[in-house]
């Protein structure tokens, strides 16, 4: 089995470690603090306990997953003999450049360096190494053990072998890789999410609807629909003539894409960051935050049990030209 290392034991890092440990790989999880590793281990155990209680995995699966994870603060020990290293540290380019320089020195010449970044490109990260052919973005969606998607984004210098290896590794772990053809900030999933978030914030800012009502609109309509079919399949069914007619009325009235909405900037300046600060568009307590995480996770587990069929229409490959 592939020797996997995960650098960063936070929200995404511990989930990536869990994914590959459950798939049978030996995983070394490293962080700069013992406390961070202890929190990560506790989260993984909690995740596995919930999955076991809901019948998604067996107790034996959970025990094997835990036994495959080796938490360590020794950086060189964690990455020295790794076949693949997944970087999952804070979204700061200087920090990531420094880490990739260290990885380039500490890892074997065959090791693939994969970043879980949602912001930076493999070309940017590979520039800090002497082996950009072995650097790739593997963007997992939180939580990685419930959300199948992994956006695999090669840089200018990334080799085809590197991409193929990551795609195969991700598929065999039970996740679903999508290879992004061209580097753009935010790739696909983040850009779609930010486009929706921008308009939702603009609607609140304009007094059109409350955050709770907008969330209700999403969870009781398009959110449920998108859980079973993507935007192109749904709108193919609706008819693009209808969408064009609706768009001619709505698109000119959408918030322009040129800047972050004022309301969002003001909230960040006030420290209203969401669950992490106790207030965002909602007020949060530790208890309500945990209840929300559990509710979303359980819903995702149930959605994951649904059969995933191919669209009934004929798949047409686009040339990328309009």
Q: What are the chain's domains? A: 3-179 (3.40.50.720), 190-270 (1.10.1040.10)
* DSSP-assigned letter for residue 251: G
- For residue 65 the two structure tokens come to 């997953």
| 299 and 227 Cβ atoms separated by less than 8 Å | no
What pLDDT score was predicted for residue 306? 67
Strand partners, 115: 87, 137
- Please give the Cα distance from 234 to 243 (Å, whole number): 11
The burial of 74, by beta-carbon neighbours within 10 Å (0-12 exposed, 13-18 middle, 19 or more buried), is given as: exposed
| 2 and 83 Cβ atoms separated by less than 8 Å | yes
Considering Cα of 194, then 200, then 205, then 210, what sign does the dihedral take?
Answer: negative
| Per-run averaged pLDDT (10 residues), the chain, 322 residues | 92 97 97 95 96 94 97 96 97 96 95 96 97 98 95 97 97 97 94 93 95 92 81 77 78 71 82 86 87 83 70 48 31
- Please give the Cα distance from 73 to 33 (Å, whole number): 7
| 4 and 113 Cβ atoms separated by less than 8 Å | no
- Please give the Cα distance from 215 to 236 (Å, whole number): 25
- H or E, element range at 249: helix 240-250
What pLDDT score was predicted for residue 321? 33
- Please give the Cα distance from 78 to 120 (Å, whole number): 24
| 166 and 137 Cβ atoms separated by less than 8 Å | no
- Please give the Cα distance from 214 to 199 (Å, whole number): 10
The burial of 87, by beta-carbon neighbours within 10 Å (0-12 exposed, 13-18 middle, 19 or more buried), is given as: buried
pTM over 0.75: yes
| 82 and 109 Cβ atoms separated by less than 8 Å | no
DSSP string, 182-222: S--TTTTHHHHHHHHHHHHHHHHHTTSS-HHHHHHHIIIII
Q: Directed axis angle between helix 262-269 and helix 189-205, to 10°?
A: 90
- For residue 227 the two structure tokens come to 């859980």
């Amino acid at each position: 089995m592939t020797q996997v290392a995960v650098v960063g034991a936070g929200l995404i890092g511990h989930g990536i470690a869990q994914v590959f440990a459950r798939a049978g790989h030996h995983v070394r999880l490293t962080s700069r603090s013992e406390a961070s590793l202890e929190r990560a281990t506790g989260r993984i155990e909690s995740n596995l306990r919930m999955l076991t209680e809901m019948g998604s995995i067996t107790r034996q699966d959970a025990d094997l997953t835990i036994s495959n994870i080796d938490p360590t603060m020794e950086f060189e020990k964690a990455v020295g003999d790794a076949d693949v290293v997944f970087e999952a540290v804070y979204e700061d380019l200087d920090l990531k450049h420094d880490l990739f320089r260290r990885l380039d020195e500490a890892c074997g010449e065959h090791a693939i360096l994969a970043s879980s970044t949602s912001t930076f490109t493999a070309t940017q990260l590979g520039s800090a190494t002497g082996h950009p052919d072995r650097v790739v973005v593997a963007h997992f969606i939180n939580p990685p053990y419930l959300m199948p998607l992994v956006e695999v984004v090669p840089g200018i210098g990334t080799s085809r072998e590197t991409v193929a290896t990551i795609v195969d590794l991700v598929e065999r772990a039970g996740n679903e890789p999508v290879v992004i053809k061209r580097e753009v900030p935010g790739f696909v999933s983040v850009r779609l999410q930010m486009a929706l978030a921008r308009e939702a914030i603009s609607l609140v800012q304009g007094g059109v609807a409350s955050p709770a009502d907008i969330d209700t609109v999403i969870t009781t309509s398009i959110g449920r629909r998108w859980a079973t079919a993507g935007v192109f399949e749904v709108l193919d069914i609706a008819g693009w003539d209808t969408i064009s007619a609706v768009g001619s009325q709505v698109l000119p009235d959408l918030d322009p894409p040129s800047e972050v909405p004022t309301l969002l900037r003001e909230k960040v300046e006030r420290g209203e960051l969401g669950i992490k600060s106790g207030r965002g568009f909602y007020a949060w307590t530790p208890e309500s935050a945990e209840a929300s995480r559990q509710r979303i996770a359980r819903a995702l587990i149930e959605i994951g049990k649904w059969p995933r069929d191919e669209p009934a229409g004929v798949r047409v490959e686009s040339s990328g030209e309009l």
